[in-house]
Amino acid sequence: MHGGARRAAAAVVARASSAQAEPKSEGAGEGGDKAAEGEEERPYEEYEVTIEKPYGIKFSKGRDGGTYVEAILPGAAADRTGQFTVGDKVLATSAVFGEEIWPAKGYGQTMYSIRQRVGPLYLRMERRFGKLADDGEMTEKEIIRAERNSGVVSGRVREIQLQNYQRKMAQKMQREEDLRVGLKLYKDGKYEEALEKFESVLGSKPESGEASVASYNVACCYSKLDRIQASLSALEEALKAGYEDFKRIRTDPDLANLRKTEEFDRLLKNYDESFINDSAINAIKSLFKFGKN
């Protein structure tokens, strides 16, 4: 555990919901602005999808705490359904086991259900037509529009920049709090609850150092729960994010279940440069029979 700052679709069903359009903004501009606002007012739809691992889809935490599609891997199961679009929101998922359906109450709990799922994964989604519920930071386009609609351009821009900075700092503080609480839950043996906190960190666009530590801690939780594939996946994410404490990985008692597998050694061999260099040196020595009389 680290205490630092951490197949084709089985079935596809799509259906339109009776979701209401968002209220129209008064005083909409002409031309491009009017068309853009009209697109924002497009009613959302609900659809249902059942897919199998590997899903090939990345989720992130929205400003409302919900779970949203951030990216879709081309050619993977999610992409082959033809249903998912970036920005879609998860409304419900399969339970970890069986046919029960769980509402998507929060990002951490939802990601726990998705990662832990045994068998095909059912998702009830809200199609948002590319409208993202991001971290609250205004885009360049939004800033330009705000400038146009404000009486004092320079003051408005400074206000937006300050708001974006404050949001980023608030998110960073929340990630630190989630990590702290997650570590406490972990030490108390509440691995599933700890997972929700660590997953929440990962869904909030963490910095690389935060992401590597949180992913490592997720791997430890899954190892403790004897969910080997989920643990391997999380450990690989930690390594991709820059986690480099290979001595800890090879000796951490929290990863004991994981180290029993052949996949563990294969994974580390792909990232541990010291192991790669030693192997190369030994291979050269063997080739030229160094050290022999």
193/175 Cα distance (integer angstroms): 15
Is 26 inside a domain boundary? no
**Domain count across the chain:** 2
pLDDT at res. 152: 55
Same domain, 272 and 177: yes
Phi-psi region of 239 (alpha: psi -120 to 50; beta: other; left: phi over 0): alpha
Same domain, 210 and 262: yes
Whole-number percent of the chain with pLDDT over 70: 71
Same domain, 123 and 178: no
Same domain, 118 and 177: no
pLDDT tens, position by position, 118-136 = 899 999 999 988 776 654 5
- Sign for the CA dihedral angle at 214, 220, 226, 230 comes to positive
Same domain, 174 and 256: yes
- Poorest-pLDDT segment among 53-62, 95-104, 135-144: 135-144
What does pLDDT average to over the chain? 79
**CATH of residue 117:** 2.30.42.10
Q: Is the pLDDT of residue 22 over 50?
A: no
- Res. 41 pLDDT band, cuts 50 70 90: low
pLDDT tens, position by position, 195-216 = 999 999 998 889 989 999 999 9
pLDDT tens, position by position, 81-131 = 999 999 999 999 999 888 999 999 889 889 988 988 889 999 999 998 877
Same domain, 108 and 179: no
Same domain, 176 and 258: yes
Same domain, 45 and 117: yes
Is 148 inside a domain boundary? no
Is 150 inside a domain boundary? no
- For 111, 130, 192, 213, the CA distances from 96, given in Å and listed in that order, are 11, 29, 12, 25
Choose the final residue of a domain: 77, 109, 127.
Answer: 127
DSSP for 139-187 reads PHHHHHHHHHHSS-HHHHHHHHHHHHHHHHHHHHHHHHHHHHHHHHHHH
Same domain, 178 and 265: yes
Is 193 inside a domain boundary? yes
Choose the final residue of a domain: 75, 101, 127.
Answer: 127
Q: Give the number of C-alpha atoms closer than 13 A to the C-alpha of residue 126, restricted to the C-beta side.
A: 21
Choose the final residue of a domain: 95, 127, 159.
Answer: 127
Domain of 91? 11-17+39-127
Is 239 inside a domain boundary? yes
> Looking at residues 210-229, what average pLDDT do you find?
94
pTM score > 0.75 for this model? no
Is 272 inside a domain boundary? yes
74/58 Cα distance (integer angstroms): 12
**CATH of residue 215:** 1.25.40.10
